[in-house]
Copies of this chain bind each other. A is one copy, B any other.
Amino acid sequence: MGNAIGKLEWLIPDGYYPEIDRGGVYVSHEAVCVLNTGDKDANIDITLYFEDRDPIKGFSALCKAERTNHIRMDKIISESGLRVPRGVPYAMMVVSDVPVVVQYSRLDTSQVEMSFMGLIAY
């Protein structure tokens, strides 16, 4: 216990929140999955980068000590009331104040079938 594994900055170049959901068990969504193995709570800040406009800051979340938080990017709201735009290529920088490990996962149900993508962030 007490030893937090991971690092403070994590980068995710390929973010995409589809405009379309086909019914079924799941809806299209992305998750920034944080694992905090240490004994101090992690304050998480997420910055969104775009192809043709300035970055958006101010998306924050908490991952308590010895907990995981699967942050749903389709549900998160910034401090100024913004949501992740749909149908637009974007990227993310995830910054924590204590070491954590970050995985990015996407589920797309734009077509009848679904498809997964999962990877440890850089």
Which A-B residue pairs are the 5 nearest by beta carbons?
Answer: A68-B91, A117-B118, A14-B33, A113-B113, A13-B33
- Cβ–Cβ < 8 Å partners of A26 in chain B: 110-111
A-to-B contact residues, CB < 8 Å: 5-6, 9, 11-14, 16, 18, 20, 24-26, 31, 33-37, 49-52, 54-55, 66-70, 89-91, 93, 101-103, 105-122
A49-B68, A51-B67, A66-B54 are contacts. A105–B120 as well, Cβ < 8 Å?
Answer: no
- Cβ–Cβ < 8 Å partners of A50 in chain B: 67-68
Nearest B-chain residue to A70, judged by Cβ: B89
CB distance from A20 to the nearest CB of B (A): 6
Distance, CA A70 to CA B116, complexed state (A): 19
- Cβ–Cβ < 8 Å partners of A14 in chain B: 31, 33, 70, 103, 105, 118
- Residue A111 contacts which of B36, B102, B114 (CB distance < 8 angstroms)? B114
